[in-house]
Structure 1
Amino acid sequence: MRCYSLYSVKIKHYNRILKETVSFYRKATDFFLQVCLKEWDILSAKTAHQKLLYMEQLCHQTKKNPNVTYKTFDQKFYKFPSYLRRAAITEAIGKVSSYKSNLENWDKTDPTIRGRKPSLPKAGLIYPCLYRDNMYQQTGEYTARIKVYVCNTWDWIDIRLRKSDVDYIAHHCSNRKQCAPTLQKRGHQWFLDFPFEETVTLNNTSIYEQTILAVDLGLNSSATIAVMKADGTILGRHFLRLSKEYDSLTHAVNRIKKAQQYGNCKIPRLWSKANGINTHIATRTATFIMDVANQYNANTIVFEHLDTTGKKKGSKKQKLHLWKSQYVQNIVTDKAHRFGMRVSHI
């Protein structure tokens, strides 16, 4: 089984140049989206690779392909890197394919219960992948070169990477395969997001010899855990109550309520604090579950299937909105697979 993880490295001293690069990439994707919508009757009958080649034949002029249908692409996006062009085409094909599927399902649904018609796809907040050698080159331990759109052309610039981020990756990801990074912006800072791939083998213990870790995630108590054998023998019970953290979260939410009494105003600082406390609770809960699982050498971790979709009603609807049960399960799933444990939902 393949597991993927993502680590971010902060880029120093650049802002405007990187912003123009992302904007240029999104405009190219929007161009291909319009082409895909017009040519979808032909594209839908082709395989994924054939769709990519057909789109390039329609838009990109070369020596072997002098006559193209959409000549404005090479004029608007002069010297657009080939890897980014193919990434934008793939992104556009995926969005149009999803749109057509949603539209077909919408047409089949009863008009009395179906919602609004799916809107036409747009590039949205996508970010370019900087493919190795062609778009990204590591020049030193804490330095690299990336190809960006600068001075109306595509050129290489040297960037400095934050030392603490690079050292963290070297310490924790030395045995994993590093993939091509993605240029990302969070807040006012720019990062290179490096995906890492590793292959793990899940345990194949007989079902009659397995140690099972049953987890009950609650609104008031973070987690209740029961460790048992396949025959029902209880090996241990563990409880996690984060009283201080929940009190801090309640206090943060009450401050938001009080601020909202004075009118409909934006309070990002208060929401940021509440979300930070909530994320801290989820992280500590996931860490506690994995510590217990490793203590008993559990083979399988079992969660209750929690359907949190739909409109929340009742006196506890705010708690349900803030409840990060899915986030906890995702963290535990990623960590458990690295230890060869299986995860089940019932």
Structure 2
Amino acid sequence: MVQTTSIIRTDRWTLNPTASQRVLLSQTVEVYRRVCRHLMGILFTHWPSLAELSSQKRVLAVEKLIHQTAKNPNPKYQQFDQTFYKFPSYYRRAAIVFAAGQVSSYMTRYREWQSGTRQRRDAKPPVLNPNSGCYPTLYKGGCYKLHGYDRIEIKVFNGTDWVWTTVGITSLRERHTVDSNKLRSPSLIFDEPTRACHLSVPFECHPHKREGEGRVVTVDLSINTTATVAVVNFDGTVIHREFIHPGRDIDEVAAAAGTCVQRNGDRRDKRLKSVSKRASKTMGNGGSLQKGFCSHTYRKCRHINRQIGQIVSKRIVQIAQQFNADAIVFENLKGWKAKGGRKRSNLRQRFHGWLKGMIRDLTEMKWQEIGGKVIDVVAAYTSKLAYDGSGVVRRDSNNYALAKFSSGKRYNADLNGALNIAARGILQLTRRKDSEERSSQCSRRSPRSWACLCDLWTSTVRG
């Protein structure tokens, strides 16, 4: 099988330290951040001479400025070794790389500000923030030693010296079990408020390119149904249809995904509706809301949206694997903006809860990791044209989710759109670029109209 280009994916390995180990890990993160702040000043001072160097040569040049060795007995900044006594060399090099990235970003933003590239005419110049919340990068051998996948030995700071401590790993994902994945240097993440810690472990993945069986999985994302999925063969045969809507049937989807969540969409919408009630009580007939109003509620809603996106994208990838699809096809909705609905309608709020971008991105990340391809097609007229070529459809005034064909047949509007999306994706995959210029025998549409599912039937008959 052909191997695709490498991609980076990150796993979370939860650690289970003791109370004394939590103190050691907290002190390690704290002293690492102090080193980064110290190095930012040095790098900023010498940036004109360091900017043109490669990353490796830059690290060596900064070490020559701060670290005393037999070949470098008198560094310019001797107080570094005195302030950070016995600071490990691997931690020091990781801190230099991070500090150099911060200074480089600041200098780029400052040059853009000087050149007039600003969001506002009165925008203030950017500021170099030395108190950035960084976390130590662990290099194998010098900073950590992995004992199986249930224990890890980390070099930590105990207040006076650097020592090794062994911490248990309680949970991890399955990327380490794939032979083609390469483990890269993890980062030690320590959350001070909760005292929880974990490892952020990046993997370099080399998935093999999938060879499908001549079919695509097409997804129509709408506000009526979160995702309408159809599996269509290259000859236009529809072999599977599925509606994924966590707001209504979250129990079934969550069970398939291995989670225990109930009615996420309903919980999200109820929370958002409560914001307007609290705002009216706070402001009354006039006034303004303070900064951070209902931030806790909005944070919960963002988490619910993230979970819905994960559940829906996982199910889409499962369907694509089940039917061994060549690709997953989406509408290209980038840059699409919602239009306001009628007065006192909740249409705009429903569009704000539309997870079109999140679901598409999460699906692409999951599908690419197993060698799949995600393609985007033109979104115009996918739901407006009937998939059988009978022309423009009309939406039911009482139920907008239903479409009425010119023949009188009633059909689900989202499913009709999904079938037309599939036709465009298949034509794009098979490189039939002249498909939009060929008229269909079963269609009343003009030769240059958008492709529909009936175009696949016509091409099959002609072939």
TM-score between the two structures when normalised by the length of structure 2: 0.64
2:113 to 106, 109, 113: 106
Equivalent in 212, 218, 230 of residue 216 of structure 2: 212
TM-fit CA distance, 1:35? 1.4
Distance in 1 between residues matched to 2:169 and 2:278, nearest whole Å: 39
Which residue in the other structure is 2:36 paired with? 29
CA contact (8 A) 2:329 2:375 kept: yes
Q: Mapping of 1:286-301 within 5 angstroms?
A: 286-301=313-328
Equivalent of 2:368, from 305, 315, 337?
337
Partner residue, 1:10: 15
What residue number does 2:269 align with?
250
1:52 is displaced (CA, Å) by 1.2
- Residue 172 of structure 2 is aligned to residue 152 of structure 1: no
- Residue 193 of structure 2 is aligned to residue 174 of structure 1: no
- Counterpart for residue 117 of structure 1: 125
Aligned pairs for 1:77-88 within 5 A: 77-88=84-95
Partner of 1:73: 80
1:87-142 per-position Cα deviation (integer Å, ceiling 9, x unaligned):
01111111222222222233333568454422214351111122222111235764
Is this contact kept in 1: 2:37–2:131, CA < 8 A? yes
Asked if 2 retains the 8 angstrom alpha-carbon contact of 1:92 and 1:123, the reply is no
Change (3 A) 1:36 1:199: same
Deviation string, structure 1 residues 188-236 (Cα, Å, up to 9, x no partner): 311123333332122477xxx8533332323442112344455766555
Question: Which secondary structure does the structure 2 equivalent of 1:173 belong to?
Answer: helix
Does the 8 Å CA contact 1:312/1:321 hold for their aligned counterparts? no
Counterpart among 278, 283, 295 of residue 310 in structure 2: 283
Compared with structure 1, are the counterparts of its residues 106 and 266 closer, same or farther at alpha carbon in structure 2 (3 Å cutoff)?
Answer: closer
In the alignment, structure 1 segments of 5+ residues that lack a partner are none
Q: Which runs of 5+ in 2 are unaligned?
A: 249-262, 283-289, 378-463
Task: Work out which of the two has the higher radius of gyration on C-alpha atoms and give 1 or 2.
Answer: 2
- Aligned partner of 1:61 among 60, 65, 68: 68
Task: Give the alignment's TM-score, normalised by structure 1.
Answer: 0.83
* 3-state DSSP of counterpart to 1:334: helix
Kindly indicate whether the alpha-carbon contact (under 8 Å) linking 2:112 and 2:118 is maintained by their aligned counterparts in 1. Answer: no
Residues in 1 aligned to 2:124 and 2:233: alpha-carbon distance in whole angstroms:
50
Match of 1:19 in 2: 26
Q: What's 1:95 paired with?
A: 102
Matches of 1:272 and 1:259, distance apart in 2: 16
| Aligned-partner residue type, residue 119 of structure 1 | V
Is the 8 Å Cα contact of residues 15 and 167 (structure 2) preserved in structure 1?
A: no
Distance 1:312 1:119 in 2: 38
Higher strand share: 1
After superposition, the C-alpha distances for 1:154-176 in whole angstroms (9 at most, x for unaligned) are: 222232332xx1xx54x663234
Distance 1:301 1:141, change over 3 A: closer
Query: Does the CA contact (< 8 Å) of 1:130 and 1:136 recur in 2?
Result: yes
Q: What CA distance in whole angstroms lies between the structure 2 residues aligned with 1:153 and 1:12?
A: 19
Deviation of 1:58 after TM superposition, in Å, equals 1.2
Aligned length: 338
Residue 78 of structure 1: CA displacement?
A: 1.2
Identity %: 29
Q: Which amino acid aligns with 2:242?
A: H
